[in-house]
Amino acid sequence: MAAPVWSVDPRTGQQREQVGTEATAVDVDAAVRAAHGALEPLADRAVRAALLRAAADQLGAASEEIIATADAETALGRPRLPGELARTQAQLRSFADEIEDGTYLGITVNHADPDSTPPCPDLRRYRIPLGVVAVYAASNFPLAFSVPGGDTASALAAGCPVVVKAHPDHPATSELTAAALRRAAAEVGLPEDVLTVVHGFEAGVELIKHPLVAAAGFTGSVRGGRALFDAAAARPAPIPFHGELGSLNPVVVTAAAAAERAEEIGAGLAGSMTMGTGQFCTKPGFVLAPEGEDGDKLLSALREKVAEAAQGPLLDSRMRESFLEGISARTELEGVEAPVLAGAGDDGHTVGAGVLTVPAGKVGQPQYELLLEECFGPVTVVARYRDDDEVSAVLSRLPGNLTATVQLSGGEAAGDGGRGARLLAALTPLAGRVLVNGWPTGVAVAPAQHHGGPYPATTSTSTSVGATAIERWLRPVAYQDAPDALLPAELRESNPLGLPRRVDGRWER
């Protein structure tokens, strides 16, 4: 008999309701085959755009129930969840705009040129959908990175039906949002199976192995993501696996910046690393700050603000236990101090935020490798450096990240002395988004956004936020010397759909 799927309140640890049952291998097979059957109806770009806008509307119509349920399952509360829902709706509508614009198709035409060396035939290239996409939902964003989130929105925009493996931390929210998207599909005349949700650990394993699944998107832990990544690569026909696994999100504070605005930087860091009880994938978890009086002022401001932060629940008891174990292991390292000790809250379900410090010179030693791993929750490590050589030595040991931030003085930001440019150059190989005088929590949904980074931040070079996220679910195909009447409408000489394209090296709109 299939195991039940329960919705649990993280504030109390109590079961709320049984949402359903875990999917069996037979259930997963049925879901994937039904999704595969929706490929042809989903091929119409205009219908896909209508689907995404209708999905945004349906989520809005059910917003009160969705927000209340998400809060009951995640304790993320207001104003966080209404803001996340608005962001999710905006993502859906932005991908509808992207479909209608058509630039994402990458249409390129080279007319035949027999006089070139070597001779060039008539070539016409564009991008087509891969097929059924498996999406593994995130725990910490029950809307924006879950069932109706960016992976789903971009895959549907590309013309790929989606089967979502729901996250066990918010199964009821997953079912509500899936129902909204399925209603939207029916509203625009598409099969509801353009999107299906399955539950359970084994369902996730079966999903990545299914021969009709053409690609996968994942947001979660390094351990879980790497296991699925390896499974995707081990298939008889390997598939693309776009995983977001973990990120330290380092921050470098220059001595000049600390001298100029130590208290401001300390307070800003505290707000960023405690936001959402430290459960953002872009939480700054490692900071290089100078020794000396100005560094002390920064640390004092950070300590004061973190000590004032309210205790809060993590998304589930397993994450809470992992966080507490991580704090304990880090504080046992020689030379690691805790100006504010993170730990268990007063009620057995919450945790308090904390700050750890360590001399930067110790970070290069093998026994301190743990400090360079993400600790999911409200804590950051401040490594105090003496000089630029120590900064460079630590940066050389950092893994790949989603973000890297540098806090500069006014003069450094203006280019004086070249130090700001050198630090940007040093941080660029480490992250997909490099910030100057800001904080990484908060990821704008914009065409120029990049939410990804070198491994283990992600398993590919793509982004999961912004317009170009659609490219993950497409593959290019070129036609050579094909008669115009046989070509897809997107590639015909007269450009009957009026799409932007590059013809013989020049863009036409």
**For residues 166 and 169, what is the distance between their CA atoms, to the nearest angstrom?**
9
Beta strands in 428-500 (DSSP E): 431-436, 474-480
Catalytic residue among 73, 84, 175, 244: 244
Cα atoms found within 13 Å of the Cα of residue 173, Cβ hemisphere only:
35
Using CA atoms, how far apart are residues 208 and 424, in angstroms rounded to an integer?
Answer: 38
Does residue 193 contact residue 71 with C-beta atoms inside 8 Å? Answer: no
Neighbours of 477 (CB within 10 A): 12
Annotate 431-465 with b (16+ C-beta within 10 A) or e (fewer).
Answer: bbbbbebebbbebebeeebbbbbbbbbbbbebbbb
Helix (H, G, I), strand (E, B) or coil at 358: strand
Q: Can you read off the two tokens belonging to residue 457?
A: 């931040």
- Which residues have a Cβ under 8 Å from the Cβ of 7 and sit 6 or more positions away? 15, 16, 17, 18, 19, 69, 72, 73, 170, 171, 172
Tell me what percent of the chain is helix, strand and coil, each rounded to the nearest 5.
Answer: 45, 20, 35
Do residues 150 and 144 make contact, with C-beta atoms less than 8 angstroms apart? yes
**Residue 431 · residue 406 · CB < 8 Å:** no
Reply yes or no on whether 281 is catalytic. Answer: yes
- Axis-axis angle for helices 45-61, 80-101 (nearest 10): 170
In DSSP terms, 25 is beta-bridged to none
**Greatest pairwise CA separation for the chain in angstroms:** 80
Instruction: Count CB-CB contacts under 10 A for residue 289.
Output: 29
Q: How far apart are CA 346 and CA 304, in angstroms?
A: 20
Q: 374 and 247 in contact (C-beta within 8 Å)? A: yes
One of 160, 281, 412, 490 is an active-site residue; which one? 281
Look up residue 113 and give its DSSP letter: B
Please list the active-site residues.
244, 281
